[in-house]
Structure 1
Amino acid sequence: MESTSVSATNENGKSASVRPKQCNTFTCFPKLPAELRNMIWEHASNLPRNLDIWARRIRSLSYRWSVGDDPVKYQPFKFYTKQPVPSILQTNRESRAIGHLHYHLSFETWFQCDDGLAVTTPARVYSNFAMDQIFPMGKYKG
């Protein structure tokens, strides 16, 4: 934030430079009309982000369906990001309600093994697909 100074003259006619105190909080925000607060939350929910998406292997799974069969190997993984949860979802109830209209938990995984066994991981990445740019990171193998 840029610092500005204001010149002022005191009662003796001497010029003095005065720097206004820097304010870190906007204490009047709760007193604004709800419609204006909601417009601010809407704007804050739609800021573009670069969302890095990584894949982490959970563990290797190896199964033998019958005695004498060769093991079948699976390597299930989960997605994660190094980005923090969007601030709008952590500020207060009002901001969270607006934020959840735009940000959704995404990138769950689901693996179906041959015998009907399924391995799933929950979605843990908040994304706003209308605004976020998704960047797959790391090594991915098809």
Structure 2
Amino acid sequence: MSLLWYNRGEEKTRLWLEFQVVHDGLDGGSSKDPENQPPAQTFTCFGELPPEIRLQIWEVLIQPRIVLAACVDNRSKTQKHTQMAKRSTKRSIPVLLHVNHESRTLALRHYELTFAWKIPPRLAAPETSVLPAQGDARVWFNYSLDALLLLGELEPYDEFGFSSPMSHFFRKEDTSRLKHIACAFEELHLSLYEADSIFGTLFHIIDRCPAARRLLITTTNADTEARHLRLPTLDNVVQKLWRAFLNDTTCVNESLANMQILMISEDSLASFINYHR
């Protein structure tokens, strides 16, 4: 969502994406207190098990992961990094890729490197001949299970007021395969932006992810306490806004018209996806 003003004397805007795995599915719900952890045990006969049994055990380690994609710019870098630091940071490479050849072979059937990105030319600074920032596909992702969580400005703008949806930074062939897409509630800025701007932002995300059955709006504890939310819920302000705007137009397809927008605690996101896998 772009602001309606700009200052030509501002520093040239530089935008980029950063990724962070905030949940790897391997927490197991164990205590975070080291003193209360059960003693580690070693099973030395694993290699002697039949291959089909070993593969079933490896499969158990393929759990839903949450990959955060943050849109960062040089004006708000500190703020965004603070938001990211409040969330867990897990290893970016799935553990099965590092155990042995057998586990890696299995993992490569599920995970792939993806999410190459590029800043649209309209947000580049043509007078300085600066090429748009871009990144290679370096994020391990399982399109069947993993979720992409969007953080940062959802429609970033440059110093001239030009904007572009963050969802368009990704390749369409990647976003079209996403089955689980989520957006941080704090980035909608309901008290700052007009309803039509919020609808436009949601539209770009949903339209870019046709394989997703629902858009998940994740909330933090601060969001829940401030708005007295009972989660998860479809009876939320974002879903109501979406339906209100769609009722005024006939230029939508069935998937857009029936899209569910579910508000859910960010801490419950992985378990929700695992339940609905």
Normalising by the smaller structure, the TM-score range is 0.5 to 0.7
Q: Deviations over 1:49-79 (max 9, x none)?
A: 222222345x8xxxxxxxxxxxxxxxxxxxx
1:96 aligns with 2:113: no
Decide which of 105, 108, 116 is 1:108's aligned counterpart.
116
Structure 1 residues 103 and 121, CA gap change in structure 2 (3 angstroms): same
Q: TM-score, normalised by structure 2?
A: 0.31
Please, which runs of 5 or more residues in structure 1 have no aligned partner?
2-20, 60-81
Q: TM-score, normalised by structure 1?
A: 0.56
1:52 aligns with 2:68: yes
1:28 aligns with 2:45: yes
Separation in 2 of the partners of 1:121 and 1:52? 15
Structure 1 residues 56 and 25, CA gap change in structure 2 (3 angstroms): farther
Counterpart amino acid of residue 138 in structure 1 = G
Count of residues paired in the alignment: 99
Asked if the contact 2:66–2:146 (Cα under 8 Å) also holds between the matched residues in 1, the reply is yes
Separation in 2 of the partners of 1:118 and 1:50? 27
Structure 1 residues 56 and 94, CA gap change in structure 2 (3 angstroms): farther
Q: CA deviation at 1:120?
A: 4.2
Decide which of 120, 140, 153 is 1:126's aligned counterpart.
140
Identity %: 32
Counterpart amino acid of residue 125 in structure 1 = V
Asked if the contact 2:66–2:147 (Cα under 8 Å) also holds between the matched residues in 1, the reply is yes
Separation in 2 of the partners of 1:110 and 1:95? 33
Structure 1 residues 113 and 139, CA gap change in structure 2 (3 angstroms): closer
Separation in 1 of the partners of 2:97 and 2:69? 19
Asked if the contact 2:72–2:152 (Cα under 8 Å) also holds between the matched residues in 1, the reply is no
Q: Deviations over 1:17-64 (max 9, x none)?
A: xxxx9442221111111111112222322x11222222345x8xxxxx
1:86 aligns with 2:102: no
Separation in 2 of the partners of 1:42 and 1:123? 25
Structure 1 residues 110 and 23, CA gap change in structure 2 (3 angstroms): closer
- After superposition, the CA RMSD in angstroms is 3.0
Please, which runs of 5 or more residues in structure 2 have no aligned partner?
1-29, 31-37, 75-88, 123-130, 156-164, 166-277
Rg comparison, structure with higher value: 1
Asked if the contact 1:106–1:123 (Cα under 8 Å) also holds between the matched residues in 2, the reply is yes
Q: CA deviation at 1:83?
A: 3.6
